[in-house]
Amino acid sequence: MTTKTTSGATETPKQRGAKIIKEHIVEVVSDSGEGAQKCGQTFGSVSGKMSNGVWTVEIIPAEIQPPARSPAGASGIRIRLASKRVTNMGDEADLVVAFNEQVLFSRVANGAYKKGTIVLLENKWSEDPQESIRQQYAAAVKEFAEHGLVVHEVPMEVECLKLVKDARKGKNMFVLGMLCHIYSRDLDKALAEIAATFARKGDKVIKANHDLFQSGYDYAASHIDYHWEIPAEQGDLGPTLVTNGNTAVGLGVMAAGMDLVSMYPITPATSATHYIADIFHEAGGFIHQAEDEIAAVAYAVGASFAGKTACTITSGPGMALKTEVLGLAVMAEIPLVVVDVQRGGPSTGLPTKVEQGDLLSTLYGMPGDAPKIIIAPATIEECFHFVILARKLAEAFRGPVFVLTDANLATGVQPWTRPVLSEDWLAAPIDQGAWDRNVPAYDWNETTGLSQRPIPGQRGGEYVLTGLSHTNRSKVAYDSDTNQTTCEHRSRKLAALAQTLNPPEIHGDEQGDLLVVGWGSTKGAIEEAVDLLRENGHRVSSIHPRFISPMEPGMQEIFSRFKKVMTVEINYSDKLGDPLITEETRRYAQLAGLLRAKTLVDVDCWSVVYGHPMQPGLIYSELEQRLRA
């Protein structure tokens, strides 16, 4: 439903003299509960519908209920908006709308802004009855100016109060109106989006929000000089979905025809099940919220033993608890999909922040030799498709498959191609036909280690699964030969899978001065930095393997074509030159260490654990330095 309104609705941006730009990064920040996120999401959706490249990411305060106007309490959203496809949240913002001055401090401290970042700041605090607030406001405006921010004080409250009694409710729509004018957004699309948002609340509420939106739009038209147009250059994207990576995982679980998600809540993984919680049964699945992570994964393994496709979704601390059961899944060869939405560690670490710190613990964090498949989606779209892939691999290779995403993919929101669903993606119904008694429960192929498994209900297939060392008939066996050969079989499954993989695609030239290797959510940022370096004449390329275990083939050969190889990762590594850090004492980033061991190439690394997604600008300056050295 759209409402035709008066001023400006039929003018095109060009008539109004909008300046054409390629991209901008916009933030809206407020105290929590003021609707900044809704405002930004709507702005993002409208832009997505206009076929712009968009990446949005929420700005989450460190505390659940921070006090109002608290410097650490910034709640809001960042929207990166471009003519072309956007793959990451970018560097410093170009324009920010702030509902109070205090919340800006944490963003400034985080390096979210640069000299010249435009701040549209609610100015009601300059006339606050409390003198201390008036003083804080005045001091902050001065300080921001000293930082080089370009502050414009905007009477948002005053304007909203012309339409509503309580400006706290609705100021976000006023701001949305301002932004839509500043960035020449399609007015009809914006109004329709608002109507859809409030559809359940009825026409009166829609009208009130439309009015607030319109007044913000008009205010910007007559009072704000900034006026840009970001033309979409992607062409028609075709059917498109807009989700974050966690929702993509949840949708992937459904599209894979999984029977069960068994989980225990943990940030930042939980929201993967939030959306599907209400609808999973319609797609034939069930979500079990267990009493803890051990029970969650045990329940999933039990279901999988009984032939049903199961998945568990968690984050670092949950992975730690699940370890023993996951070892059983490796040992007894039980298919299972495990999604680890990584956060900062060790221990409880940084629950809401980004880190790629679980690679080695996933690979090695089990007693004994526990070979397993690990894949890492690099985009939100891959978060969807890799769940389906993981289910198939788990069944074909009879064991757990780990999907490592992270808080960056989990919370980043981006348009991606709506998949055309296929029956092939759904799990096949379980076989309940008779099992040939002569075929053992683990009829390992000598070469590949692969075998078919009997499912309870199959007559003749009765066996007792055990985590103890066992023969092909699943009989407990402590003799040396059995243990040696069964370890070989389990390990060889990875070699069998590796045979089917292609070497990673090279982004950039096939040879050069520097090869950057990344994995997981950093792909967009790394490639953006690499592209810019190449435009500036540097001979740099990148690869981004999706299979970490087994490793994609051909690494050593690719490395040999570059003078230097390094990884860029979001996990901890020592830096040469730091106190006591020498070639001998230095600890490498996680993938770097693996690649060094695997290829015997002197792979360097650059990794940081600031808790942020990787930013292309940071990567750019780091790589540029090394290329110059």
Partner 1 sequence: MFGLKADWSLEVFERYFTMGDYAGGEARWCPGCGDFAVLNTVHRVLHDAQLPPEKTVAVSGIGCSSRLPHYMGTYGFHGLHGRALPFANGVKSRRPDLDVWVATGDGDCFSIGAGHWIHAIRYNVDMVVLVFDNAIYGLTKKQTSPTSPTGLSTNTHPKGAPLPAMNPLTTTLGITNVSFVAQCVDWNPPHLYETIKKAHKHRGTSFVRIIQRCPVFSPDFCKPLQEDSSRMLLLTHEKGIPADDSVRRIFGEQREHDPGNWIEAMSIARDERKIPIGLLYHDPDAPVYDDLSSRGLEATNAEKIAAVNRAFDAFAI
- Strand 75-82 and strand 23-30: pairing? antiparallel
Least distance from C-beta 483 to partner 1, angstroms? 17
DSSP conformation letters of 317-338: HHHHHHHHHHHHHHHTT--EEE
Least distance from C-beta 609 to partner 1, angstroms? 32
Q: Counting contacts by CB under 8 A, is residue 477 touching partner 1?
A: no
Q: Counting contacts by CB under 8 A, is residue 303 touching partner 1?
A: yes
- Strand 604-607 and strand 562-569: pairing? parallel
Least distance from C-beta 351 to partner 1, angstroms? 22
Instruction: Give CA separation, 497 vs 413, 449, 504, in Å.
Output: 32, 11, 15
Q: Counting contacts by CB under 8 A, is residue 423 touching partner 1?
A: yes
Contact with partner 1 (CB under 8 A) among 164, 192, 208, 283: 283
Residue 162 backbone zone (phi > 0: left; psi -120 to 50: alpha; other: beta): alpha
Contact with partner 1 (CB under 8 A) among 60, 190, 325, 530: 325
Q: Counting contacts by CB under 8 A, is residue 284 touching partner 1?
A: yes
Q: Counting contacts by CB under 8 A, is residue 471 touching partner 1?
A: no
Tell me which stretch binds partner 1 (CB under 8 A): 215-223, 281-289, 541-549, 551-559. Answer: 281-289
Least distance from C-beta 427 to partner 1, angstroms? 10
Contact with partner 1 (CB under 8 A) among 299, 442, 444, 547: 299
What's the full length of the chain, in residues? 629
Least distance from C-beta 420 to partner 1, angstroms? 10
- Residue 99 to residue 84: CA distance in whole angstroms: 30
Residue list 450-469, contact with partner 1 (CB under 8 A)? 456-468
For the chain, the distance separating the N- and C-terminal CA atoms, rounded to the nearest angstrom, is 59
Tell me which stretch binds partner 1 (CB under 8 A): 60-68, 247-255, 552-560, 584-592. Answer: 247-255
Contact with partner 1 (CB under 8 A) among 239, 537, 577, 579: 239
Would you give the DSSP letter of residue 33? T
Instruction: Give CA separation, 148 vs 33, 108, 143, in Å.
Output: 29, 11, 9
Of the candidates 374, 184, 348, 341, the one whose C-alpha atom is nearest the C-alpha of residue 247 is: 341
- Biggest CA pair distance of the chain: 87
> Phi/psi at 400 (nearest 5 deg)?
-75, 145
Least distance from C-beta 260 to partner 1, angstroms? 6
550 cis-preceded (ω within 30 degrees of 0):
yes
Residue list 25-64, contact with partner 1 (CB under 8 A)? 45, 48-49
Measured from the CB atom, the residue of 458 and 599 that comes closer to partner 1 is 458
What is the SS3 assignment for 67?
coil
Q: Counting contacts by CB under 8 A, is residue 185 touching partner 1?
A: no
- Residue 235 to residue 582: CA distance in whole angstroms: 51
- Residue 288 to residue 304: CA distance in whole angstroms: 14
Q: Counting contacts by CB under 8 A, is residue 365 touching partner 1?
A: no
- Strand 336-342 and strand 400-406: pairing? parallel
What sign does the dihedral 63-69-72-76 (CA atoms) show? positive
Q: Counting contacts by CB under 8 A, is residue 393 touching partner 1?
A: no
Contact with partner 1 (CB under 8 A) among 109, 279, 360, 495: 279
- Strand 240-244 and strand 413-417: pairing? antiparallel
Q: Counting contacts by CB under 8 A, is residue 495 touching partner 1?
A: no
Q: Counting contacts by CB under 8 A, is residue 286 touching partner 1?
A: yes
Q: Counting contacts by CB under 8 A, is residue 306 touching partner 1?
A: yes
Contact with partner 1 (CB under 8 A) among 62, 161, 164, 241: 241
Contact with partner 1 (CB under 8 A) among 29, 249, 269, 310: 310
Of the candidates 76, 79, 102, the one whose C-alpha atom is nearest the C-alpha of residue 90 is: 79
Measured from the CB atom, the residue of 308 and 353 that comes closer to partner 1 is 308
Measured from the CB atom, the residue of 207 and 281 that comes closer to partner 1 is 281
Q: Counting contacts by CB under 8 A, is residue 567 touching partner 1?
A: no
Tell me which stretch binds partner 1 (CB under 8 A): 58-66, 241-249, 536-544, 614-622. Answer: 241-249
Q: Counting contacts by CB under 8 A, is residue 324 touching partner 1?
A: yes
Q: Which two tokens stand for residue 207?
A: 């009208």
Tell me which stretch binds partner 1 (CB under 8 A): 27-35, 138-146, 296-304, 539-547. Answer: 296-304
Q: What angle do CA 116, 119, 122 make, to 5 degrees?
A: 165
